[in-house]
Structure 1
Amino acid sequence: MLGDLFWTDKGEEHPMVDTSTDYQVVARDLAWKWFEYHAGQRLAVFRFFLLVIAFISAGYVSSLLAKEHLVSGILALVLLVSTFLFYRLDRRNRALVKISEAYLKDDQAELAQQLGKSGIKLIEISDDEKEYRSLCSFSQINKAIFALVGAFGAVGLIISALKSCW
């Protein structure tokens, strides 16, 4: 157990261990692992979303060409709903990533103060630099893709409905 590393058998603090520093290392490691896990999960979910929309879109186009308007309408609706659900998952994963970023930002500020080097404040630098802000972020790109796919689903639903009426 972690406590066994810091205390003797008698429950006293171990004389060779600086627990404040060691707990800081553990906390930093936990924050980085949290960040890595949820950032990786966010990418994996987005990749799966792209795969799902590729299959649904191929089915939509095939059913539309086969004049199966009910099927194409259902697929367009599935595309629209799937896009909304994946968007919600992405927002949740983004929030979980931001939790660890907030801790790491504070930790990096403290580390920069201890080292006397402000360059270690990586998250703050990436948030503040105009050069980085002018680039599209992962979130901005995701939102644009979700909006485009959602619009495609809505238009596909309308086209299928109109074609089934003709």
Structure 2
Amino acid sequence: MDTEKTSFDDAEKAAQSFAWDYFAFHAQQRQTVFNFFIILNGASLAAFAATIDKGAATKLHFVIGCVLAISSFLFWRLDERSRRLIQLAEAALKEIEIRLAARTGLAWLTILTRSDNKIGGWSAKLESFTQIYRLAFIVAGCSGLGIILTSIF
């Protein structure tokens, strides 16, 4: 094989490194933000559970419900932004993979492109971070609304 054909030049290596660093940063940031969401919701639900039998806590329950509902919306919006930023990096990495696969003759190097293929079946609706995170945001938001309604009535 011709060495020139199979090797990446410095510009392609720099592009790959840049795209990967961008992807890794935003993917890590997305995970960190979701972890904060889980901690905030856990603390809110623990506060609600600890005061559920206290009749004088209806104002606190209203606040807890608001925290759950509003934070679910805000964290969902942050997650959507992070997801879009990650997709930008994925698009760049897919292009780099295609070039690398063509240069090496190794079609299996198009990992990101092939990872878009769905597994299928009934569970296909819940196989990505986005789908699972959305479900968590919806459940927490609806829980918050439920707590608000029970504190009012």
TM-score for both structures, normalised by structure 2: 0.87
Match of 2:103 in 1: 114
Question: Comparing both chains, which one has the higher relative contact order based on Cα–Cα distances under 8 Å and sequence gaps of 6 or more?
Answer: 2
2:43 is the counterpart of 1:52: no
Matched residue count:
143
Shift of 1:136: 1.0
1:141 corresponds, among 132, 139, 145, to: 132
Q: CA RMSD in A?
A: 1.8
Report sequence identity in percent.
31
| Structure exhibiting the larger radius of gyration computed from Cα positions | 1
Shift of 1:117: 1.1
Shift of 1:58: 1.2
Q: Deviations over 1:27-86 (max 9, x none)?
A: 100100011111011111111110010111111223332121011011101111011111
Q: Which runs of 4+ in 1 moved over 6 A?
A: none
CA distance in 2, matches of 1:106, 1:116: 15
Match of 1:128 in 2: 117
2:80 is the counterpart of 1:91: yes
TM-score for both structures, normalised by structure 1: 0.81
Unaligned runs of 5+ in 1: 1-19
Summarize the Cα distance change of 1:129–1:64 in structure 2 as closer, same or farther, 3 Å threshold.
closer
Write out aligned runs for 1:1-166 (5 A). Answer: 21-67=9-55, 68-128=57-117, 130=119, 134=124, 136-162=127-153
Partner SS, residue 80 of structure 2: helix
CA distance in 2, matches of 1:95, 1:127: 15
Q: Which amino acid aligns with 1:47?
A: N
Partner SS, residue 127 of structure 2: coil
